[in-house]
Each structure stands twice: as structure tokens, then as C-alpha cells.
Copies of this chain bind each other. A is one copy, B any other.
Amino acid sequence: MRNIRMTIAYDGFSYVGWQVQPNGPSVQVAVEKAIRKLTGQDVNVLAAGRTDSGVHALGQVASFRIDSPIPCEGIRKALVKFLPPDIAVRDVVEVPEDFHATFSAKWKQYRYVIHNSPDRNPFLKNHVWHQHGPLDSAAIHEAAQVLLGTHDFRSFESHWPNKATSIRTIYEVTVRRQNFCPLWFGETDAGMVAADSGDFIWLEIAGNGFLYNMVRAIVGTLLPVGRGRRTADEVRAMLESMNRSEAGDTAPAAGLYLVRVEYDDEWSASDADRDNA
């Protein structure tokens, strides 16, 4: 059996999320169906981040085992044909037997996009969170820094206790303005992210794992900071309260993107469990 790792991008709008659900189509089922069409084999595809309904991915990583000699690039091209047009396969590689998309992940990066403009963009209703009033992105950035480091993040976890532990480490969080909405990974790769002006506010956050709805709860908590109605110290107190009802609302799924998943060279199992965001 070969262990295959693939990086995929998808528009989450039409899906109930990554994972199989009784109430609608999931990305996982679409991917497994495409692999079955290609190989005739029933596979279980594991993903690094179990994205929720309506959440998008630019660089989700998934792995599966197949008994097939098809070269990786052949798998990629065939899957592109068998997948619906809102799921794209960026790359396919063969990895050592002990690689596991979920447990081998070292860190993940999510992005949340707010469209901060007096006018809604009618084309982006499923891809941003629209905020018509002015927001101070620098103030949001500053307040977000209180999240850095290792904390018990249960204040930002829906349905706690959802995991064995709510302790996670955040390595980096940046909030800056951009003049576009990231609807293709190429845009980011092209280095178009240097600006700090424009109608789109991107919150980018990297950590060793994320709890259920954690990024969206963080965004909902930071938003009043941008409006001048909450301070960084208050955000810190919310984090330290370890009480979900102390923190802010959960921001809508539409603005959330799983951008990147990183693994270390040894594919060693990390202590991150299967994450939700």
C-alpha cells in the first residue's frame, strides 16, 4: 500500500464541511468518491483540519492509502477530472508509511477575511464577513498579540470540552489590510500581501492546533477592538477567564480559510489531535 498526501483547495460554500455528515455533501465524501472512480478502491481520506460548514481551504492537506501503481501526477490530473469544480488538487506526493495528515501536522495557518467597506461586494457574500463601519486594523493587530504563546483557549472553544485538552500554542498572528480577497492560492504565493491598505482585513493566525470554532471566536472577540469598544487588556482577560461566555461572538464561516499545514521532516506524530476550526 502506498501512502499518498495531497494538498487541496476548496470553496466550502456548498459543503457541510470536511467531514462526512448526514445533512449534506461533505468535501471528504467528494474526495473519496473521486478516488474510488480512479482506483476502484474504497479509501478513508484523513485531513489535517476538519473545516466546518462554509469554511474554505487554500491548502488543506489530506492523506490516504491506495494499492495502485498510478504515478502521483497521474493521480492529481485524474482527480481534477473526477472532482466537482469547487474542489481543486494542488499537488499529490507519496509519503512514508507513518505519515498521517492529521497527527503529523506541526502547525497550521488560518486566515479570516473581513470586507470593511461601506458597500457590500455582491460577488463575495460567501467569502468574506462584511463590516460597513470603520475598523482600526492596527488596533486589532495589537490586541491579537495577547494570544501569542501557549494558553488554555477554552474561552474560544465552542461546545467545550470538545477535546482532551484546550491548551494550544499560537506562534504568530497578524492583522493587516489588503486590497483584495484571497480567492486563489497563487495570489498569496505571488507576494501580493505586502500592502497594509485596502478594504479587506486579513487576520492570519498560525498555531500547533485549533479548537472547534476557535479562529471564528477570536475574530468575533477582536472585532469590537477595531471599533474602539474593547481593549487589548479586555481581550487578555477574556482569554484568561477560560469561559466561553466571557469572550465575543463566533464570526461567520464564510470569511475563514485554512491556508497552510506544515509538517516536519520526520513526519513525527505531534500531540495535536484532530482539529476543528
Question: Which residues of chain A have a CB within 8 Å of any CB of chain B?
Answer: 9-11, 56, 80, 85-88, 90, 119-125, 127, 130, 180-181, 183-184, 186-187, 199
For the A-B complex with A85-B120, A87-B122 known, give 11 more contacts whose Cβ atoms are closer than 8 Å. A11-B123, A56-B123, A85-B125, A88-B120, A88-B121, A90-B119, A121-B183, A123-B127, A123-B183, A123-B184, A181-B183
* Smallest Cβ-Cβ distance to A87: which chain B residue: B122
Asked if residues A121 and B80 are in contact (CB atoms below 8 Å), the reply is no
What is the bound-complex CA distance between A17 and B127, given in angstroms? 22
A125 close to B80 (CB less than 8 A): no
Complex interface: chain B residues within 8 A of A120 (CB): 80, 85, 88
| Residue contact B122 to A85, C-beta cutoff 8 Å | yes
**CB-based nearest B residue for A187:** B180
- Is B86 touching A122 in the complex (CB atoms < 8 A)? yes
Separation of A85 and B127 alpha carbons in the complex (Å): 12
Q: Contact at B180–A119, with CB atoms within 8 Å?
A: no
Residues of B within 8 A of A85 (CB): 120, 122, 125, 130
- Chain B residue with Cβ nearest A185: B121
